[in-house]
Structure formats: C-alpha cells, structure tokens
Amino acid sequence: MSKPTDLVQGTLDLLILKTIALEPMHGWGIALRIRQVSGEVLQVNQGALYPALHRLEQSGWIRAKWGESDNNRRAKYYSLTPAGSKYLEQEEANWRRLSSAIGLVLETTYGVS
C-alpha cells in the first residue's frame, strides 16, 4: 500500500461534504467510505477528521443528528444543509478548475524535459 497522501484542510472538507451528500453518515463511516472509494489511497487522519466535522458544523454547512447505527449503538450522523450543498457545488467546480490547470502545467513541463 502506498503511503497515505497528506490531505490539505480544504480538500478534506470537500471530500467530507461530497461523501455525506450521497447519504447522512457518522464520522467513522465517512472515513471508511473515503478510503474505500479512493482505493485505499486516501486515509483520513482521525485527528483531522473530527475537528473538520465540528468546524463544518459550526460554519453551518452540515448538521448533526444522533441516531442508531447498524448494531444499535448511538452515533452522530452528519448531513448537508442547503447552504452546504451549494457550497459543495462551488468547491467542486473550483477543484476541477484547479486540478485541470495543474494538469496542463505538468503536461507542458513533461513535454519540455
């Protein structure tokens, strides 16, 4: 397994928002889903995950509700707020723009060398 890549805060926010856009999830579930979907490349550090979740909640992008998990244990489920989903759209668009720009630069450099 390759070394887990360090995730920048803004990127982590994006991943979390995208993950819970599909369905409300608790913290553990979010980390698991991100790992699975990215093919074990992106391993979210728990030390970063929960502060991020709380921050997003404080900013009003996501909201939390206590519910029952699969084995009837209490867990805190997070879901997107309307403002949050709009924010997600925005950030997604930004990310795509940024990554294609980086890609262009890398291609050019590759070509020169």
Partner 1 sequence: MRWLYKLPLRIRSLFKRARVEHELSDELRFHLEKLIEEKVRKGMTPDEARYAALRELGGVEQIKEECRDMRRVNYIQNFMQDLRYGLRQLSRNPGFTAVAAITLALGIGANSLIFSVVNAAILHPLPFRDANRLVTLWATSPTIGFSGPGALSDPDYKEWRMQNHVFSEIAAYRGQPSNLTGGGEPMRLTGVAISSSLLRLLDVSPALGRAFAPEEETAGHNRVALLSDRLWRSRFGADRPAVGRSIKLDGEFYTVIGVMPAGFDFPNDADVWIPLTLANDAHNASLQIVARLKPHVTIESARRDVALIDKRFKEQRAPHPAGGWEWHIALVPLSQAVASDVRTPLLVLFGAVGLVLLIACANVANLFLARATTRQREIGIRKALGAGRARVIRQMLTESVMMAVLGGALGLLLAALGQSVVAKAASLLPRSMASSSAAAHIASTGIDFWVLGFTLAVSVLTAVLFGLTPAVRASRGELSDSLKEGGRGVAVGRSYLRDGIVVAEVALALILLVGAGLLIRSFLGLMSVDPGFSPQNALTMNISLPESRYAGARPMIAFEQQALDRLAALPGVKSAGGVFGLPLGNGAIAGDFTVEGQETPPPGTQAFIAAKKVIGGEYFKAIGIPLLKGRYFDEHDSEAGPHVVIVSQDLARHFWPQGDAIGKRLKPGFSNDAWCTVVGIVGETKQYALDETSSPSMYLPYAQAPVPFLMQDITFVLRTRSDPLSLVAPARRAVQAVDPDLPVFDVATMEQLVYKSASGPRFNTALLGIFAALALILATVGVYGVMSYTVLQRTHEIGVRMALGADAGDIIRQMVRQGMLLAAGGIAAGIAGAWVLTRFLASLLFGVRPTDPITFALVPVVTVVAALLACFLPARRAAKVDPMVALRYE
Q: Which residues bind partner 1 (CB under 8 A)?
A: 26-28, 45-47, 50-51, 54-55, 57-61, 63, 66, 69, 73-76, 81-83
> What are the beta bridge partners of residue 79?
63
Q: CA-CA distances (angstroms) from residue 70 to 34, 66, 93?
A: 19, 13, 34
Q: From the CB of 104, what's the least distance to partner 1, in Å? A: 35
Q: Based on CB atoms, which residue is closest to partner 1, 3 or 74?
A: 74
Q: Based on CB atoms, which residue is closest to partner 1, 9 or 99?
A: 9
Q: Based on CB atoms, which residue is closest to partner 1, 19 or 108?
A: 19
Chain-centre distance of CA 37, in angstroms? Answer: 11
Q: From the CB of 109, what's the least distance to partner 1, in Å? A: 37
Q: Based on CB atoms, which residue is closest to partner 1, 50 or 103?
A: 50
Q: From the CB of 20, what's the least distance to partner 1, in Å? A: 14
Residue (of 110, 106, 27, 98) closest to 69 by Cα position: 27
Q: From the CB of 2, what's the least distance to partner 1, in Å? A: 18
Distance CA 89, CA 112 (A): 35
Contacts of 95-101 with C-beta under 8 Å, sequence gap 24+, read 95/11, 95/14
